[in-house]
Amino acid sequence: MEKMKDLAYYNGTVTRIADMMIPAGDRGFYFGDGIYEVAMVFHRKIFALEEHLDRMERSAAMVRIELPMVRREIGDLLQELADRVESDCQFLYWQITRGTAPRNHLFPAGTASNLYVYSKPWPGVEMSDDYRLVSVTDTRFLNCNIKTLNLLLNVLAAQTAKENGCQEAVFVRDGIVTEGSHSNVSMIKDGVFITHPADNLILPGVERRHMIAYCGELGIPVEERPFTLEELKGADEIIMSSTSHPSMRVREIDGVAVGMKDAATVEKLRKMYLYEVEKRGQ
């Protein structure tokens, strides 16, 4: 089997990413009517695949999209596609949309869902100690726990962060910090790991879940509870986490220096992540 520098898949067709053509009638195009997942490939194995498939199934069920094939077949296909890319370390993305049909708000009858996948080389794990945040008002809808394609307000927040010289935005809803535009936010205060509960106001991040598990192994107390922006600014450490950026250490919010007071605990969590990557790659 010939290896490819990068790869895209759409309903059985495989091309390079730049060559993939998707029908304009795909409901993801004009309604954002779909869900997506992102996973990392290390040592040619998809990291935390079962957890990503779990979230995929939950998201699809919440928006009433029928999967194009059973879960196991999707997992097998993703691994098969990752095996066809030259790089051992990859950024793997997939999305499922409700189908292809003439534009109509109602669900199309008798239309199969669409599966789009792409995988490309990735330079590897990034764990920065120089993350800066800007706070923005969270005006998104009330189902942020669905990993939906509807990310316009996240895009605007991320752009606001960039225009303010920051790497990420942190959403604040009614005085409570929820999450970042593309990551979860957690903090360490007096030796306790604190993160927003996995309710409908945040996406339940896979790496967020891993960090909670790491804390259990390390004997670090965990609190899943709401917290304010002022609490966040007073934390000993602030960590932004996502699948592609698992541990970004925050040093500034809204131009004010924050955190950076418990490097030892952050290092323990990072070592647990790197150990798990190597363990699953064996």
Query: Which are the catalytic amino acids?
Result: 147
Cβ atoms within 10 Å of 264's Cβ, excluding its own: 7
**Among candidate residues 238, 225, 219, 86, the one with its CA nearest the CA of residue 167:** 238
168 contacts 196 by C-beta, under 8 angstroms = no
- Local structure of 138: helix, strand or coil: coil
Q: Copy the structure tokens of residue 93.
A: 């993305």
